[in-house]
Structure 1
Amino acid sequence: MPRPPVLSPGVSTSLNSVQITPRSARTPHAVRPKYEDVDDLVARVDAEEVEMGLLSGHERSRAEAGFADGNGHLEAKHRAPFSLEDKRAMVLLCVLYLIQGVPSSRLLGSIPFILREHLSYSQLATFALSSYPYSLKLFWSPIVDAVYFPSVGRRKSWIIPMQAIIGSMMLWMSFTVQEIMDNATEHVIKLTFVFTSLVLIAATQGKHGLAPSCWALTLLSDENLSYASTCQTIGLNTGYFASFTVFLALNSEAFSQKWGIPQLSLSTYLRFWSVICFSVTIWLTFFQKERKEIFRGEDTSITGVYKTIWSIVKLEHVQSSLLVHLFAKIGWAAHDAATNLKMVEKGLGKEDLAVAVLVDFPFQILGGYLAARWSRGDRPLRPWIWAFWPRLGFVLLAAIIVWRFPKPPISTGFFVFLVLQTVLGSFSGTIQFVGMSAFHTRISDPVIGGTYMTLLNTFTNLGGTWPKYFVLKAVDFFSIATCEVSESGSSLMVKAAECVSEQGKALCSDIGGTCITERDGYFITTGLCWTLGVVALVTFILPTARKLQALPVTKWRIYR
């Protein structure tokens, strides 16, 4: 009997166009094909949940106890325990994602706060270009998927050299980074090039159709494939926690003096992770074998995958969706790029910011869980749409906090209020992320689910990345700062763009002057982004999103 069509969550809007075989407690699927990506796996699991939702209460309870055979008779469900091989594979995947998360988190999280002491916002804008490879990796992912050495393995052919390069770059940087950071103004281009190279390599080693995510499909046994996303979550979040929260706290001089522990330098931190990278690379090279893969019938060549991507992009509804992604995050672009930097500039300790992020972490998990439940059914974009207004509201609240930021030391009450604002703002962002992910799962063509999901996720990430350079440039462009120098009872006002950086303020102080900010471009930039975000939301994003959500899933298919 042919396999029933793979359904996506929320098919109630298109049931008339989908033929469903006579329902039984979990109609068995044919032999499971080899999926290209973890995204394919997610789509399949969601489809099976929809099948369960079509059963009556009695049938569902019977299905929970076993599977049905072709004649409707229940067979005892056997859930295989974790084998030693699966346990080792899960640990390996967590470590691979951890190594991927460390350079990305250090770049996107910690380094700008250290550089802010030396660079202006315009110079930080140049450095922000380093994060772009994460949003553009779709363009070379087909090459990673198709080119490899059969004797080494499809995944190991890329993971081993990429991790060796990451470890080597970290080791090299550990001997030079402190000098570069201390003279960051003279080495902005060099810093940008080095970190762009590091992010490019990490992105190639990374997720969304590239090495670890695809390797999970052959490392784990079929019955435990669903734990691949769990490994991804644990590894990436642990890397973020280590490179942002832990590093910022231990790198803080105030935190070190308060707790009587040595201050952790960036050089030492880089050496530590270079050793981890080399150790894992050696293990993969000599001790970890890669299973052979069975490929499906469709074209998996480089040319074939690029043609598939182009076929997806040509769909009218996909084009509308991509436009929504590119402009959906403009309302909080300035907030994401500059608000925390401004708070640190106003006197918030980096270790206090790290604590705020630490408190926020469990609430992100809770928000993801609630949004996942809320996104079920035929309106997966509902939480994404509803969370827009509170998220824009918290952007305004954050700007007010920066405007009215008290002189240090800040009180406990204000810090608690600051943490609460951070948690609620991040909570709304998590709800939006999960809601959009549920929508992507629903509309992706199961036949090419990995490529489809990668395309949509690429534009989602790009929507939050592309404005950053322009936002940071605008903060300096709209700022007016002067260096006031008093001499012989008279006051000389000198316009100095350098006054927007800590180094410029120090230079002004060296000549006996004081930097005076007449106009802070942060507030103008935030206001412009917020206004553009609201206008785009009302006139384009919300109407388009509701229209796209109401479409039957067949409208998103290439192979119908």
Structure 2
Amino acid sequence: MSSQDRRSVLLLTFLYVLQGIPLGLAGSVPYILTARKVSYTAQGTFSFVFWPFSLKLLWAPLVDSIYSARFGRRKSWLIPVQFGLAAAMTTLASYTDWLLGENPPGPVRVLPLAAGFFSLTFLAATQDIAVDGWALTMLSRRNVAWASGCNSVGQTAGYFIAYVLFLALESADFCNTWLRSRPEPVGLVSLSGFLRFWGLVFLGTTFCLLFRREESTSSSNSSSEVDNDNLGVRETYAILAKVMRLRPVLLYLFCLCLLKSAFAAADGMTGLKLIEAGVPKERLALLGVVVTPFQLVLPVLLSRHVGNRPLSLYTKSALPRLLLGLLFAGLVWITPRFKSAHDASYPWHYFLLVTVAYLAHQVFMYAMFVSQMAFHAKVSDPNVGGTYMTLLNTVTNLAGSAPVTFLLFVVDYISIKSCSTPSLESESSCITLVDGYYIQSGLCFILGIVVLLRIRATFRRLESLPLEHWKVT
């Protein structure tokens, strides 16, 4: 690898690390909100923060087609977007104490908090579009495959920093136990301080990028980049409309969306319920220390077992994942029984049980992800560049995030409670008899089994179709 490509790999990896910071922070905030006894309806409102990465295809053609040739095709978006991220982080840092109801003391203001983090993830998703495109011209032809590795490693590292590391250092209990000789009531870092620091990092990085020369698009080493250059905004949206009218695509996405809905309760609510049951949020976050190496290795190992019928692996992995959803519900139910009456701590074997269950879940989740991506690559029409595959990925990502938002909104309403009648001396109080999470877990399992039994044959037919049935023209 040439010295120029080595520098480009380092730059791309760092840009993807920056991209992972807003995502990791967005993932950590729901744990902070749960610790502050925020309702699940409010959690549902905040979950819209995760939607931009599932919807970025809607504005990706604009990022690819509208630019200043003098300034650079990718820098025309990357520079203002990163300045926007720096400004949004710095501004949000000034209001986090007020938004979280800490200074001055008051209720958590979820809606403006969600709006602030939505702006971060929206800008990060736009940065992702620009960096993905720049990677194709920044690296030489023989090294362009390194772009996906930079993406995977960089985003994972950024997410780890802003999720695992932040939640650990934000926790007073963790810092007092492991990092301090004298206990203090707060952690080593705060959300406002963390946001302000990374806002400055974004600002400094963006000033440096101003002096980085962008490679000419005309000398691109990637044929897919050239193909995309010939597509304007109107042509790109027209292709998307044509893809969505293909019958195999509609049938495939309908079946996939139904099945992915069955995992919403386990994927989106289990961690919140464990924190509600008393498990320290930083201890759950530290599972990432064990899980992150597996997340890096699993896609490589599993890709060898996909074969020519990737949807076969997808359906085979779905049943164990559904069963693990029931296991997660059982884990939440027995969690209070592990809690020490003396100091409210949990024994090491409880966290070992959680870690093993979560690792098993990751294996089957990544098996489904790798097989899904392999099928998308197999059927995508090469004549329309990456637009076809991006559309399939976008819809399936949205199918994973939208059901979680819905379940968060309704979980409080379907819980079975017994409430006392208010009197002059006291307000009414309610005791939860059956948590809506368990109802949702059971319904999701039943839905998953029914859908899985019905779509096996459908998936086999779709895999057997000639590739001409999947082409736009």
Check the 8 A contact 1:98/1:235 in 2, yes or no: yes
Check the 8 A contact 2:137/2:217 in 1, yes or no: yes
> If the length of structure 2 is used for normalisation, what is the TM-score?
0.91
Aligned counterpart for 1:554 among listed residues 457, 460, 468 = 468
Deviations 1:452-489 (A, max 9, x none): 1110100110110111221012210122456769999x
Amino acid at match of 1:335: A
SS at match of 1:269: helix
How big is the alpha-carbon RMSD for the aligned residues of Structure 1 and Structure 2? Answer: 2.1
Check the 8 A contact 1:485/1:492 in 2, yes or no: no
Aligned counterpart for 2:413 among listed residues 464, 477, 487 = 477
Return the alpha-carbon distance in structure 2 between the equivalents of residues 296 and 474 of structure 1.
45
SS at match of 1:348: coil
Check the 8 A contact 1:371/1:383 in 2, yes or no: no
In structure 1, the residue matched to 2:428 is: 494
Q: Which moved more, 1:352-361 or 1:296-305?
A: 296-305
In structure 2, the residue matched to 1:455 is: 391
Q: How does 1:78-97 map onto structure 2 within 5 Å?
A: 82-97=1-16
Q: How does 1:320-331 map onto structure 2 within 5 Å?
A: 320-331=251-262
CA 1:493–1:517 in structure 2 vs 1: closer, same or farther (change >3 Å)?
A: farther
SS at match of 1:517: strand
Amino acid at match of 1:283: C
Amino acid at match of 1:390: P
Q: How many residues align?
A: 451
In structure 2, the residue matched to 1:528 is: 443
CA 1:296–1:529 in structure 2 vs 1: closer, same or farther (change >3 Å)?
A: closer
- Identical amino acids, percent of aligned pairs: 37
Aligned counterpart for 2:381 among listed residues 441, 445, 452 = 445
Instruction: Please tell me whether residue 188 in structure 1 is matched to residue 110 in structure 2.
Output: yes
In structure 2, the residue matched to 1:114 is: 32
In structure 2, the residue matched to 1:211 is: 130
Q: CA deviation at 1:118?
A: 3.9
Q: CA deviation at 1:365?
A: 3.0
Aligned counterpart for 2:316 among listed residues 380, 383, 386 = 386
In structure 1, the residue matched to 2:157 is: 238
Q: How does 1:3-402 map onto structure 2 within 5 Å?
A: 82-107=1-26, 109-116=27-34, 117-182=36-101, 185=107, 187-206=109-128, 210-261=129-180, 262-293=187-218, 295-296=226-227, 299-376=230-307, 378-402=308-332
Q: CA deviation at 1:416?
A: 0.7
Amino acid at match of 1:544: T
Amino acid at match of 1:411: P
Check the 8 A contact 1:482/1:494 in 2, yes or no: no
Q: CA deviation at 1:266?
A: 0.6
Deviations 1:55-77 (A, max 9, x none): xxxxxxxxxxxxxxxxxxxxxxx
Return the alpha-carbon distance in structure 1 between the equivalents of residues 419 and 165 of structure 2.
37
Instruction: Please tell me whether residue 538 in structure 1 is matched to residue 444 in structure 2.
Output: no
Check the 8 A contact 2:101/2:108 in 1, yes or no: no
Task: Say which one has the larger Rg.
Answer: 1
Return the alpha-carbon distance in structure 2 between the equivalents of residues 278 and 237 of structure 1.
21
SS at match of 2:42: helix
Return the alpha-carbon distance in structure 2 between the equivalents of residues 256 and 129 of structure 1.
31
In structure 2, the residue matched to 1:39 is: none
Return the alpha-carbon distance in structure 2 between the equivalents of residues 449 and 317 of structure 1.
19
Return the alpha-carbon distance in structure 2 between the equivalents of residues 358 and 552 of structure 1.
44
CA 1:263–1:481 in structure 2 vs 1: closer, same or farther (change >3 Å)?
A: farther
Return the alpha-carbon distance in structure 2 between the equivalents of residues 486 and 494 of structure 1.
4
Q: CA deviation at 1:381?
A: 1.9
CA 1:351–1:189 in structure 2 vs 1: closer, same or farther (change >3 Å)?
A: closer
The structure with the greater share of residues assigned to helix is 2
Return the alpha-carbon distance in structure 2 between the equivalents of residues 268 and 399 of structure 1.
35
Amino acid at match of 2:320: P
Return the alpha-carbon distance in structure 2 between the equivalents of residues 542 and 356 of structure 1.
34
Deviations 1:163-212 (A, max 9, x none): 10001100111111122112684522211221222211111111xxx211
> If the length of structure 1 is used for normalisation, what is the TM-score?
0.77
Return the alpha-carbon distance in structure 1 between the equivalents of residues 2 and 291 of structure 2.
35
SS at match of 2:345: coil
Return the alpha-carbon distance in structure 2 between the equivalents of residues 393 and 525 of structure 1.
14
SS at match of 2:428: strand
Q: CA deviation at 1:558?
A: 2.3
Check the 8 A contact 1:383/1:432 in 2, yes or no: yes
- Structure 2 unaligned residues grouped into runs of 5+: 181-186, 220-225
CA 1:164–1:298 in structure 2 vs 1: closer, same or farther (change >3 Å)?
A: closer
Deviations 1:515-539 (A, max 9, x none): x322311111221222122212212
